[in-house]
Amino acid sequence: MTDCLIVGAGPVGLTMAAELARYGVGVRLIDRAPHATETSKALVVWSRTLELMDRMGCSQAFLEAGLRAPGASIRGGGRTLGHPRFDTIASAYNFALMIPQRDTERLLAAHARAFGVEVERQVELIGFTEACDGVEARLRHANGYEETVQAPWLLGCDGAHSAVRHGLGLAFTGSAQGDDWLLTDVRLDGPGAPPPDEIATYLHRDGPCVIFPIPNGRARVVATVGKTEAGHARPDPTLAEVQALVDRRAGGDIRVSDPVWLTNFRINERKVSEYRRGRVFLAGDAAHIHSPAGGQGMNTGMQDAVNLAWKLAMVIRGMAGEGLLDSYSPERSAVGDLVLRNAGRLTDLATLSNPAAQFARNLALRFLLGLHAVRDRIATTMSEIEIAYRESPLSHGPGAGARWPPEAYAGLPPGAGGEPRFVLYAADMRRGAALTRRFPRLLEPAPRPSPERSDLVIVRPDGYVALAAREAAWDDAERYLSTLARADERGTGAIS
């Protein structure tokens, strides 16, 4: 039985499929491409994604395959401007995990397979229509056969040119950043090569050049290479051009060799305003694309999937009313806005072309990166551990919406085939046990002791605080859970 048709088996569709299947939801995962990504594309998996992978049950495989980068360096005007460190991030994963996207997809596909999901390749979504209780989708197979599928829910994880987004007629609002960028994966040698676990940014007057470490002794070089007129494609760079560019911007003591990927790209910054229309949802690049500065794109998309999967599972399994789904778009759209803003600012800063502005930027960076607080802020923002859903219709009480410290829920089983559950933390364990008995399908069977003696906290299946209250607020908690549980609750949004 297909409860959800997932279009696109990139990192976001694979995460969505694995999470839904883990919760016992029937999924079909289709992709029009004959094979998974073969290039390195998104390279960084950040702390919050790794924490969520703990809950998914796949973080260990990523940690074994990736390379841990403990920090970065920023150079400009012939000197080092600063060394942001990631080891100050308040997470067990206080580093940037460097792992090529082809490996990310391979590991996620293996993880999804463990829950019985196989990607159906060379199957393309060519159209769909919505009805009140589901979606009718038209799929084209490699041999030209056209299939019509009925599914209660359609999930568009089909990337920047999303057919699902087009089918909904949703505007993808934004703009293109003006530069052409070069990208290559190479080997680096020479006395000037940055340490093999450091992300090195060179802010040159011609434009930025960034070197990222990749496992197995390789490195990614990304740099601006000027502008071409709209509609004109720049030819792929040659190794000699990359060498000349690295010589000029990174100081002349680095030799590049053995390229496996030489390409150009342009940056678009675009987003939909609604991630849901009726029974159709968007996640990942289908909903938001932006500058790769900060390496947030794939991480944000995978977190979209984690956010939606438990909500859909609860609704599909009759544990919660459909009102629960109303929180997905506001929660993730706000995060998308934030990520677009931050990535855009970083890109603007790095690509300043006016020499006076470049001088002022370098001076300011040198001062600011000397301050612990600034370095910590940069690392924390990149790590996505401070993402919170304070304005969400699901958040109730002071502190609600915040990330619940992962140590507090360590040891939760990944829950294969099980149902997602909220967790109750209570100071009064007797009353806590009574509440968990009253809502056996919403709450983990046993309450856990609250870290604060007087607190009553309900934590969502994705590790964010749903309700935070004082001990006397048992009525609030009861009302909150009753509203969630009402299976006929459609579209009311706020839980009060």
Ligand X SMILES: Cc1cc2nc3c(=O)[nH]c(=O)nc-3n(C[C@H](O)[C@H](O)[C@H](O)COP(=O)(O)OP(=O)(O)OC[C@H]3O[C@@H](n4cnc5c(N)ncnc54)[C@H](O)[C@@H]3O)c2cc1C
Which residues lie below 8 Å from residue 389, measured CB to CB, with a gap of 6+? 327, 331, 334, 395, 401, 464
Task: Identify which of residues 159 and 406 has a Cβ nearer to ligand X in the complex.
Answer: 159
Six-digit token pair at 125? 């979504």
For position 135 contacting ligand X by CB under 6 A, the verdict is no
Q: Give alpha helix (H) positions in 95-135.
A: 101-114
Beta bridge partners of 382: none
Task: Identify which of residues 8 and 194 has a Cβ nearer to ligand X in the complex.
Answer: 8
From the list 2-10, 267-275, 376-384, 484-492, the region that binds ligand X by CB under 6 A is 2-10
Whole-angstrom distance, CA of residue 142 vs CA of residue 269: 33
Task: Identify which of residues 31 and 489 has a Cβ nearer to ligand X in the complex.
Answer: 31
* Least Cβ distance, residue 485 to ligand X (angstroms): 32
* List 100, 167, 194, 297, residue binding ligand X (CB under 6 A): 297
Q: How many residues sit close enough to ligand X to count as binding (CB under 6 A)?
A: 33
For position 344 contacting ligand X by CB under 6 A, the verdict is no
Which of the 8 DSSP states describes residue 424? E
Q: Could you say which residues in the range 300-319 bind ligand X, by CB under 6 A? A: 301
* Least Cβ distance, residue 90 to ligand X (angstroms): 21
* List 3, 51, 103, 158, residue binding ligand X (CB under 6 A): 158
Six-digit token pair at 155? 């999930």
Six-digit token pair at 350? 């790095």
For position 292 contacting ligand X by CB under 6 A, the verdict is yes
Angle at which helices 328-350 and 297-316 pack, to 10 degrees? 180
From the list 5-13, 67-75, 348-356, 454-462, the region that binds ligand X by CB under 6 A is 5-13
From the list 27-35, 325-333, 334-342, 388-396, the region that binds ligand X by CB under 6 A is 27-35
* Least Cβ distance, residue 358 to ligand X (angstroms): 24
Closest by CA position to 328, among listed 346, 348, 312, 349: 312
Whole-angstrom distance, CA of residue 147 vs CA of residue 134: 16
Closest by CA position to 425, among listed 470, 401, 457: 457
* List 299, 329, 342, 450, residue binding ligand X (CB under 6 A): 299
For position 159 contacting ligand X by CB under 6 A, the verdict is yes
- CB-side exposure of 343: number of CA atoms within 13 Å? 25
Whole-angstrom distance, CA of residue 17 vs CA of residue 19: 6
From the list 24-32, 57-65, 169-177, 431-439, the region that binds ligand X by CB under 6 A is 24-32
Beta bridge partners of 269: 175
Whole-angstrom distance, CA of residue 309 vs CA of residue 44: 23
Whole-angstrom distance, CA of residue 58 vs CA of residue 81: 37
Decide: 434 and 424 in contact? Cβ < 8 Å: no
* List 177, 224, 291, 296, residue binding ligand X (CB under 6 A): 296
The two beta strands, 423-426 and 448-449, are parallel
The three-state secondary structure class of 14 is: helix
Task: Identify which of residues 67 and 443 has a Cβ nearer to ligand X in the complex.
Answer: 67
The three-state secondary structure class of 200 is: strand
For position 41 contacting ligand X by CB under 6 A, the verdict is yes
For position 54 contacting ligand X by CB under 6 A, the verdict is no
**What is the separation, in whole angstroms, between the first and last Cα of the chain?**
35
For position 20 contacting ligand X by CB under 6 A, the verdict is no
Six-digit token pair at 272? 């939909």
Task: Identify which of residues 76 and 159 has a Cβ nearer to ligand X in the complex.
Answer: 159
For position 237 contacting ligand X by CB under 6 A, the verdict is no
Pattern 416-455, binding to ligand X, x per CB under 6 A?
----------------------------------------
For position 33 contacting ligand X by CB under 6 A, the verdict is yes
* Least Cβ distance, residue 237 to ligand X (angstroms): 13
The site for ligand X (CB under 6 A) is made up of 7-13, 30-33, 41-44, 101, 124-125, 157-159, 163, 183, 265, 284-285, 292, 295-299, 301
